[in-house]
Homo-oligomer: A and B are copies of this chain.
């Protein structure tokens, strides 16, 4: 991040010109991800079919791809969209949900990685496994701590020349050289399904706003989640009330509050 007003400035820019973001995400995340995007100020479009995914990627500001509920037909659309985003010079973000769980996923994630995402966001188990190490992930849930994934994240970022974000209690973002930790959020967040998937979409929104700086875009999206999550968590009674309070917090978050409440540190 350039300085302590980068996140606030990017939030201001994003809202001033809401980016169209093509989100190819899973069935669990579709609704909450769209609501997160609208609350934050972006313009999401869930377009996945192979007949149009590539054409749509070319007119979008950014693309996000999440393999949570993968199938063969959807994978075709994902590959076409990623190729089209590359051809059009648009950044795309990869969310490798449980990519280690089956042979089908392992093959799919290898094909997607070849198309050079600008940013990869995952939980610790996903990032560790993506770097070729032994992770303890179960299904879609991480059983590793973010700290254990930092070295894997740096390796991945260098190998694929992209930004890698590991999200958890304290998030970690690196481009292979510099790195940041982002503190905040709430213990309720892992109890609400698909918030990580929704965050991937929001990373896409900021990447569309500042396509030449995927690192700042990622740090900003994660900081927005950390601050709004902390606000919502302070008044929620459980995961159900957290969920709608988080959307209210996202919508009400000002650039000034974002910069003031941000807890970003060099790593």
Chain A interfacial positions (CB closer than 8 Å to B): 18, 20, 22, 26-32, 34-35, 38-39, 43-52, 55-56, 59-60, 68-73, 98, 101-105, 138-141, 190-194, 237-241, 243-252
A249: B residues at CB distance < 8 A: 238
A247: B residues at CB distance < 8 A: 238-240, 243
Given the known interface contacts A101-B59, A102-B56, A193-B35, the answer about A20 and B237 at a Cβ–Cβ threshold of 8 Å is no
Could you say which of B44, B48, B55, B102 contacts A71, with CB atoms under 8 Å apart?
A: B48
Report the minimal beta-carbon distance from A251 to chain B, rounded to whole angstroms. 4
Given the known interface contacts A139-B60, A194-B34, the answer about A55 and B102 at a Cβ–Cβ threshold of 8 Å is yes
Cα–Cα, bound, A48→B241 (Å) = 29
A38: B residues at CB distance < 8 A: 190-193, 239
Total copies of this chain within the assembly: 3
Report the minimal beta-carbon distance from A195 to chain B, rounded to whole angstroms. 10
Cα–Cα, bound, A58→B69 (Å) = 17
